[in-house]
């Protein structure tokens, strides 16, 4: 028998998401009779303690008898229980300086850490994440930002609405002018955003139509790397994975879109060394037409020069002055309005938790009862017996620096 504990989120600002909704937990219990589940009481979670009790689960302040603890965000050092197995997003795999001490504490407390971000299949494809929900909220926020900037309509914040269908209902009541929307990325985020544009019944057009034709209704185009990048000798991309591995052999082909688009929804992944989408100089040129940017990818001071900082759910929109390259009021007639919230799935905690639980149930829980036949736990295990595992040994120096300080 393995006992799993659903932990309370303790990070600030409060995150209302959870690994398992009461319904998903009930499914897990049915599917795995050898698993026991306990829920740590929480007053911020999107599902109440009572909803878990009603689904037949023990809700408690004491989860110290659990073997495996399941959370979403980083667990504060003091709250980490020694000698346990933990699953959460530790944000350490890229040596993030702000979590160096967290990883050191995990090692000192002899915790086995499994990071959601590195739950992958044998090909290295991520199996678990909130990307789709970032896309859904990001597209909604893109429309909301347009309304705020131009006053065509007023939309409530996404986190004031119940779920994705409420977002869709709200969007179905607005009338967008005949603008051109460019959406980048065809992965989880890009396709989450596309779900919303399709739900709004916006017309999707080809790259050729988007660049060359005018329309009397709003239209959008969804791009992947072959559309916004070309080889250094002006040839189209032949093999995407070659670009991912050798980005320096490619150059930007996105400016042709900046000359005709009104709204840019960025939902691609940006690999280090890849060409930028546009620079501050590009924005200052007269041919740059984009007026609103919803940057879901949200790489700061990176490939999208309007993203000079991230923004927050509380204050999601800022203005970018094309001439000075500095921040100004987004309502200034010259300003490009930028939405760059970096924790978008938190605005849709119910749907995001339900989707996440399903992925966890499908991909991770079985591994505990099948002796990790596929190696999923092994690939995601970052620490064991007070040491980094082999796959994560590249983090040794990063942790050692925490010891030294
Ligand atoms: N703002 C937020 O709250 C939030 C939340 C989740 C994810 N994100 C960000 O959104 C971005 C996209 O995430 P996703 O889950 O859709 O990714 P994904 O792997 O599912 O899709 C990636 C897309 O980017 C393209 N791409 C370009 N260069 C690439 C490269 N070097 N490697 C891989 N793909 C490359 C792919 O072709 C694909 O279209 C990430 O940068 C992620 O950090 C933001």
Pocket test for ligand 1, best of 228, 268, 297, 303 (most atoms within 8 A of CB): 268
CB neighbours of residue 273 within 10 Å: 10
Grade residue 308 by pLDDT with cuts at 50, 70 and 90.
very high
Q: Which domains does the chain have, with CATH numbers?
A: 2-128+350-404 (3.40.50.720), 131-347 (3.40.50.720)
Cα–ligand 1 centroid distance for 269 (angstroms): 3
Average pLDDT value for residue range 270-299? 96
Cα–ligand 1 centroid distance for 37 (angstroms): 33
Alpha-carbon distance 314 to 311, whole Å? Answer: 8
Q: Which of 8, 38, 73, 194 is catalytic?
A: 73
pLDDT at 272 over 90: no
Grade residue 14 by pLDDT with cuts at 50, 70 and 90.
confident
pTM score above 0.95: no
Q: For residue 74, what are the contacts with CB-CB under 8 A and spacing of at least 6? A: 11, 88, 89, 90, 91, 99, 102
Q: Which of 8, 11, 85, 91 is catalytic?
A: 91
Do 37 and 68 contact (CB within 8 A), yes or no?
no
pLDDT at 306 over 90: yes
How does pLDDT run across 171-228, given as a tens digit for each residue?
999 999 999 999 999 999 999 999 999 999 999 999 999 999 999 999 999 999 999 9
Measured from the CA of 137, which atom of ligand 1 is nearest?
A: 3
Measured from the CA of 129, which atom of ligand 1 is nearest?
A: 15
**Phi–psi pair at 371, nearest 5 degrees:** 50, 35
∠ CA 215-189-194, rounded to 5°:
30
pLDDT at 403 over 90: no
| 91 flagged as catalytic | yes
Measured from the CA of 134, which atom of ligand 1 is nearest?
A: 5
- Ligand 1 within 6 A of CB of 130: yes
For residue 148, give the nearest of 323, 311, 329 by alpha carbon: 329
- Ligand 1 within 6 A of CB of 190: yes
- Ligand 1 within 6 A of CB of 336: no
- Computed over every residue of the chain, the mean pLDDT equals 97
How does pLDDT run across 119-165, given as a tens digit for each residue?
999 999 999 999 999 999 999 999 999 999 999 999 999 999 999 99
Q: What tokens were used for 376?
A: 């999923």
Cα–ligand 1 centroid distance for 186 (angstroms): 8
Average pLDDT value for residue range 390-394? 98
Measured from the CA of 224, which atom of ligand 1 is nearest?
A: 39
pLDDT of residue 72: 97
- Ligand 1 atom 18 nearest Cα: 187
Question: What b-and-e string marks burial along 73-110, b requiring 16 or more CB atoms within 10 Å of the CB?
Answer: bbbeeeebeeebbbbbbbebbeeeeebbbbbbbbbebe
Cα–ligand 1 centroid distance for 21 (angstroms): 26
- Ligand 1 atom 2 nearest Cα: 342
Grade residue 405 by pLDDT with cuts at 50, 70 and 90.
confident
Alpha-carbon distance 213 to 202, whole Å? Answer: 16
Alpha-carbon distance 200 to 143, whole Å? Answer: 11
Cα–ligand 1 centroid distance for 89 (angstroms): 17
Q: What tokens were used for 356?
A: 């996440």
How does pLDDT run across 332-380, given as a tens digit for each residue?
999 999 999 999 999 999 999 999 999 999 999 999 999 999 999 999 9
- Ligand 1 within 6 A of CB of 369: no
pLDDT at 390 over 80: yes
pLDDT of residue 401: 87
224 marked as binding residue: yes
pLDDT of residue 262: 98
């Amino acid at each position: 028998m393995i006992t799993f504990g659903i932990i309370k989120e303790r990070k600030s600002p409060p995150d209302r998401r959870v690994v398992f909704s009461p319904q998903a937990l009930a499914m897990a219990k049915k599917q795995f009779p050898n698993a026991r589940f306990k829920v740590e009481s929480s007053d911020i979670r999107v599902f109440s303690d009572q909803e878990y009790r009603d689904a037949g689960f023990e809700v408690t302040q004491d989860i110290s008898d659990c073997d495996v603890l399941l959370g979403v965000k980083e667990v504060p050092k003091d709250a980490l229980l020694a000698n346990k197995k933990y699953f959460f997003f530790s944000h350490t795999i890229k040596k993030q300086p702000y979590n160096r001490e967290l990883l050191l504490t995990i090692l000192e407390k002899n915790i086995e850490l499994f990071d959601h971000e590195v739950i992958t299949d044998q090909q290295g494809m991520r199996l678990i994440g909130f990307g789709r929900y970032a896309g859904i909220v990001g597209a909604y926020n893109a429309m909301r930002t347009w309304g705020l900037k131009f006053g065509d309509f007023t939309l409530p914040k996404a986190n004031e609405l119940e779920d994705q269908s409420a977002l869709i209902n709200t969007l179905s009541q607005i009338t967008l002018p005949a603008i051109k929307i460019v959406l980048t990325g065809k992965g989880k985020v890009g396709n989450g955003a596309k779900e919303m544009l399709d739900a709004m019944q916006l017309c999707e057009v080809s790259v050729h139509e988007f660049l060359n034709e005018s329309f009397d209704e709003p239209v959008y185009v969804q791009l992947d790397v072959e559309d916004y990048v070309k080889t250094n000798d002006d040839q189209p991309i032949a093999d995407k994975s070659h670009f991912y591995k050798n980005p320096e052999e490619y150059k930007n082909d996105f400016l042709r879109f900046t000359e005709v688009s009104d709204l840019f929804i960025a939902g691609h992944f940006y690999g280090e060394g890849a060409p930028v989408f546009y620079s501050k100089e590009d924005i200052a040129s007269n041919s740059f037409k984009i007026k609103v940017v919803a940057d879901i990818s949200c790489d700061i001071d990176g490939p999208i020069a309007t993203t000079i900082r991230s923004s927050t759910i509380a204050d999601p929109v800022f203005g970018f002055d094309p001439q000075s390259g500095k921040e100004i009021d987004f309502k200034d007639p010259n300003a490009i309005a930028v939405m760059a919230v970096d924790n978008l799935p938190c605005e849709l905690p119910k749907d995001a938790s339900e989707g996440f639980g399903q992925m966890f149930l499908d991909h991770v829980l079985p591994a505990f009862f099948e002796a990790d036949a596929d190696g999923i736990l092994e690939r995601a295990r970052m620490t064991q017996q007070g040491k980094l595992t082999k796959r994560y040994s590249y983090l040794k120096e990063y942790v050692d620096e925490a010891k030294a300080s």
